[in-house]
């Protein structure tokens, strides 16, 4: 389980797992720090660049929080500060730590930083990378998944729902499958513990829209109604 600790350096608050970073400073959130040590293992591009790097024989992921949509073109990475517990980095880190205690298949948190500039803040997070895995979108573009895989995806989502874990952006890009055929969920920014049942069917519907959207866009996308019904059967079986 994560050994969650917190420290303040200048105008930054750092939350960290002391088992991964014994005494972190702000430098660990700077990709140049890892590049100069030749520890960068790769990058991914989305709203910004995500960096993969090695530290103490563990592969980690460094992500800077950036806004999307129209506002992101004007204010790319600044957020209104109310209190630390409401910042996106703090919430994601502690949700990931909570899910580790529940043994849910989600990335483990390593560290997060919130830097305050008066009424605004900027933030970064470092998580453990899921080894030997690919997102299901990529896999479906290459070929069909087995019936067992679809059932396992449904069962995985149900495990999260049973613990009232609300995934704000449940789409086919945020579901991973590793070499042992284990299913993982990723990207828990803006997610939360959300009691009650009313949102869970809507959450599944969001995933279905994601699959339908990619099916209509991709020249080869191996998804069918039968696959969806198998996923739902896996969801219902838990």
- Run of H or E residues at 31: helix 31-36
Q: What is the pLDDT of residue 71?
A: 59
Q: What is the pLDDT of residue 74?
A: 61
C-alpha 77/C-alpha 122 separation (Å) is: 6
Q: What is the pLDDT of residues 165-175, one digit of tens each?
A: 999 999 999 99
Q: Which residues are catalytic?
A: 169
Helix/strand/coil (H, E, C) string of 194-219?
A: CCCCCCHHHHHHHHHHHHHHHHHHCC
Q: Are 124 and 112 in contact (CB under 8 A)?
A: yes
Q: What is the pLDDT of residue 163?
A: 98
Helix (H, G, I), strand (E, B) or coil at 136: helix
Q: What is the pLDDT of residues 68-116, one digit of tens each?
A: 765 555 678 999 999 999 999 999 999 999 999 999 999 999 999 999 9
Q: What is the pLDDT of residue 48?
A: 83
Q: Are 72 and 84 in contact (CB under 8 A)?
A: no
C-alpha 134/C-alpha 174 separation (Å) is: 10
Q: Are 66 and 79 in contact (CB under 8 A)?
A: no
Residues of the chain under the 50 pLDDT cut: none
Q: Are 100 and 25 in contact (CB under 8 A)?
A: no
Q: What is the pLDDT of residue 46?
A: 77
CA distances from residue 152 to 80, 120, 135, 196 in whole angstroms, order as listed: 39, 42, 14, 23
Q: Alpha-carbon torsion 145, 149, 151, 156, what sign?
A: negative
């Amino acid at each position: 389980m994560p050994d969650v600790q917190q420290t303040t350096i200048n105008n930054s608050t750092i939350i960290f797992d002391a088992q991964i970073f014994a005494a972190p400073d702000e430098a660990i959130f700077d990709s140049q720090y890892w590049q100069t040590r030749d520890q960068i293992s790769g990058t991914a591009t989305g709203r910004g660049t995500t960096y993969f790097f090695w530290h103490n024989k563990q592969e980690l992921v460094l992500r800077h929080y950036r806004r999307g949509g129209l506002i992101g073109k004007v204010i790319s990475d600044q957020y209104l500060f109310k209190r630390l517990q409401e910042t996106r980095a703090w919430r994601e880190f502690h949700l990931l730590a909570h899910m580790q205690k529940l043994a849910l298949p989600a990335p483990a948190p390593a560290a997060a930083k919130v830097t305050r500039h008066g009424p605004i803040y900027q933030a970064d997070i470092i998580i453990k990378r899921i080894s030997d895995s690919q997102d299901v979108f990529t896999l479906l573009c290459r070929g069909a998944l087995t019936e067992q895989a679809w059932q396992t995806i449904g069962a995985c989502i149900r495990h999260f729902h049973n613990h009232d874990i609300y995934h704000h952006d449940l789409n086919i890009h945020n579901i991973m499958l590793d070499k042992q055929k284990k299913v993982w969920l990723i990207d828990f920014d803006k997610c939360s513990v959300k009691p009650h049942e009313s949102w869970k069917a809507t959450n599944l519907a969001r995933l279905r829209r994601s699959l339908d959207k990619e099916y209509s866009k991709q020249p080869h996308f191996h998804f069918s109604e039968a696959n969806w019904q198998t996923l739902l059967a896996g969801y219902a079986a838990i």
